[in-house]
Structure 1
Amino acid sequence: MTGSTGHTDTRKTALVVGASRTLGLALAAEYLRRGWDVIGTVRGSGRTGLHDLAEASGGRLTVESLEMTDPDQISALGDRLARRTLDLLFVNAAITRGDLPIGEVPTDMFTEVMITNALSPMRVVESLRPLVAPAGTIGIMSSDQGSIALNTDGGQDLYRASKSALNQLMRSYAARYADDSRTLLLMDPGWVRTELGGPDAELSVDESIPGVVETIERHQGKPGLHFVDHQGQVVPW
């Protein structure tokens, strides 16, 4: 990014989509700690932890509003950021609606979860990819629950299916842009104590996110799609 004085600012820039709380907020904070400029998105106009973080950032964190399920808002965000170059585009957004057997899942619940967890992240990636530097990284928060190979216990049918769909769509994206020099990541943050992960999860947010960022950094400059966890281990499809 070049300022008005003509000097080049060598700080890297990350866009974290879904940064109002828990994992997304921690990602924004971790990249700030590492000296990056950060753009974080929140839903709606209410105040969030990201706004507090922005006030303490010395201008290095910008808050943008985005309802990720609205394609027009995705396009509008792309227009607002058209002059920015991103070293990292990371989409962190997912919902769960309880642990129901798939035969008991209402159609509107199925649609809502699939749109939020699978379709909308890919719309963001497809729409905003031109902003990402040729040597940059595009990442999406996935889950080992999206792994078909690891599903030996069942449960969480809809959430698992949405993450498997996300992984499949990202593989199709990677195949479509097979010659792209950007790094593509599906990240499993581990089982984290969040609203989605529940209170019995193994990891705190502070234990997960530094590993996620380290893994992202280690894969910089490695084109193609990688499905990895917060410790850098490959997750089976």
Structure 2
Amino acid sequence: MSPTADRHALVIGASRGLGLVLAGELARRDWRVVATTRGDDAELRANAHTRSGRLSVESLEMTSPEQLAALRERLAGSRFDLLFVNAAIDRGDLPIGEVPTEMFTEVMITNVLSPLRTLEALRGLVVPGGTVAVMSSEQGSISRNTEDGYELYKASKAALNQLMRSYTTRYATDEHTKLLIDPGHNRTRLGGPDAPLDPKESVPAVVDVLEAQAGAPGLQFLDYQGEVVPW
């Protein structure tokens, strides 16, 4: 990332939850942030009004290739030190044999295909030495999959990690730091009210990791404390 204070970030998926807190934390640290939303964005836009121009909002339905191309066109003149893609849905705790085909397709398109399409579409906006990062989960770790439950969600995060590995192989010489981030189990709509972590505490730690890893080569799968998550 740029050594100067004038750092620019593009956060995909910031209307609520972890993405919302992430965009706000970056702006609080004096990053200039462009954050995208699918439409449920009242809190994000309210945050933008309080950030003295350091946070702006763009519309994007990430699963739409047409909207993704339109965003790329709107941002053609911009350059970013950080591109962070945050997207995940969970459709409940069904054994895989009971998952309807439509549900499987929806989760895989949202959690796997769309984040990588987004990286492919927007990576050209990231400066040399910049960072591309994707919100993953410890749930995507195959070696740590030792408890029952949430099979489809786990599979989607493992597939995301695998495609990010392929992305890294394809663009091994592009000078971008590449990160998969496990933010921990947070109290969000996705994580549920009984999760142990508060995003207002865990997300600043995520930003610490992003800033500390700037310029690091290759792909790393790290948690919010900067510890390696096993594949």
Fold match by TM threshold 0.5: yes
Please tell me the TM-score bracket, short chain as reference: over 0.9
The yes-or-no answer on 1:216 pairing with 2:227 is no
**2:21 is the counterpart of 1:18:** no
Name 1:38's counterpart in structure 2.
Answer: 33
Q: Partners in 2 of 1:35 and 1:48 — Cα distance?
A: 22
Question: Secondary structure of 2:222's match?
Answer: strand
What code does the residue aligned with 2:87 have? A
The offset of 1:57, in angstroms, is 1.3
The 2-side partners of 1:10 and 1:103 are apart by 51
Percent sequence identity is: 62
**Alignment correspondent of 2:171:** 177
Q: Determine if contact 1:21/1:48 at 8 Å carries over to the other structure.
A: no
CA distance in 1, matches of 2:121, 2:139: 26
Residue by residue, what CA displacement relative to the aligned partner does 1:76-134 show, whole Å, maximum 9, x if unpaired?
10110011110000001100000000000000000000000000000000010000001
Counterpart of 1:110 in structure 2 is: 104
Match of 1:191 in 2: 185
Q: CA deviation at 1:224?
A: 1.0
In structure 2, the residue corresponding to 1:11 is in which secondary structure? Answer: coil
- Offset, 1:56: 1.0
Greater alpha carbon shift after TM alignment, 46-55 vs 124-133: 46-55
Structure 2, unpaired ranges of 5+: none
Q: Cα RMSD over matched residues?
A: 1.0
Aligned ranges 1:69-88 → 2 under 5 Å: 69-88=63-82
Q: Does 1:53 align with 2:61?
A: no
Counterpart-to-counterpart distance in 2, 1:209 and 1:195: 15
Give ranges in structure 1 of 5+ residues lacking alignment. Answer: 1-8
Aligned to 1:100: 94
Residue type of the alignment partner of 1:24: G
TM-score using structure 1 length? 0.94
Partner-residue secondary structure (3-state), 1:151: coil
Using the alignment, how far apart are the partners of 2:103 and 2:145 within structure 1? 22
Please tell me the residue identity of whatever aligns with 2:37. Answer: V
Runs of 4+ displaced beyond 6 Å: none
The number of residues matched between the two structures is 228
Choose from 226, 230, 235 the match for 2:220: 226
Letter paired with 2:181: M
